Amino acid sequence: MAETEPGTSGKPVLKSGALDAEATTVLPESAAVTAPDDASQQALVAAQEETRQHRDQYLRAVAEMENLRKRAQRDVEQAHRYAVEKLAQELLPVRDSLELAVANAGRGDAASLIAGQEATLKLLARAFEKFAIQSLDPVGEPFDAERHEAMMMRESATAEPDSVLEVVQPGYELNGRLLRPARVIVARAPG
C-alpha cells in the first residue's frame, strides 16, 4: 500500500512490512511438508497392530465357522446312518421270540404256541408304542383317500355310505405321519 508521507515531495513511500504482507500467501495444511513426528509414527504403528489383530480375529472366526459346519455335517451323517438304531434294538427281542417259536414249533402244543405268539405280539406292540407308531383302525369313519386304501365297496344297510365298513389290513402312523394307509372295505348304499 503506497501512501505519501508528510514533508516529502509527494512521492509515494512504502511503509516497511507492507510489501511482505501482501506478497505472502498461505498454503493449506495439506500442502505443507512436515516431518513425521513421534506421535503420528506411534499412531501409525498402533493402527497397524490393531489391523493385524482384527485380521487374526477374522481368520480365527472363519476357521471356527468352517469347523462348526464340518461338525454339523458329520452329526447329520451320523444321525442318518444310525437313525433306526434304537428301533432296531427294540425289534431284536421280537426276532428272538419268533426264532424261538419256529425252533419249538414241532415240540410244543397249540396252547404254548399261541401263548408264545401273544408274547411276541406284546413285545412288538411295546416297541411300536415306544416309538410313537400307532395303528389306524378307521371302522365307521368316513373314507379318506389320503389315509385309507379302498380294496372294494360293499353294500350296507347299516353303515353310512362312503364310510369304512371293514379293515382288511391296518394302517400305521409315525408321530402323526402316515407310514402305510389302512386297506379297507368301503360301504355303499344298497341299491
Does some domain include residue 27? no
Contact 148, 164 (CB under 8 A): yes
Are 93 and 49 in the same domain?
no
For 34-86, how does the pLDDT look when each residue is reduced to its tens digit (9 = 90+)? 556 888 999 999 999 999 999 999 999 999 999 999 999 999 988 888 888 88
Does some domain include residue 10? no
Contact 142, 159 (CB under 8 A): no
Does some domain include residue 33? no
Does some domain include residue 164? yes
Are 97 and 126 in the same domain?
yes
pTM of the model: 0.56
The beta strand positions in the chain, using DSSP E, are 2-4, 12-14, 133-136, 148-155, 164-169, 171-174, 177-180, 182-188
Handedness of CA 151, 155, 160, 162 (dihedral sign): positive
If pLDDT is split at 50, 70 and 90, which confidence band does 33 have? low
Instruction: Tell me the residue range of the domain where 75 lies.
Output: 39-81
- Domains in the chain: how many in total? 3
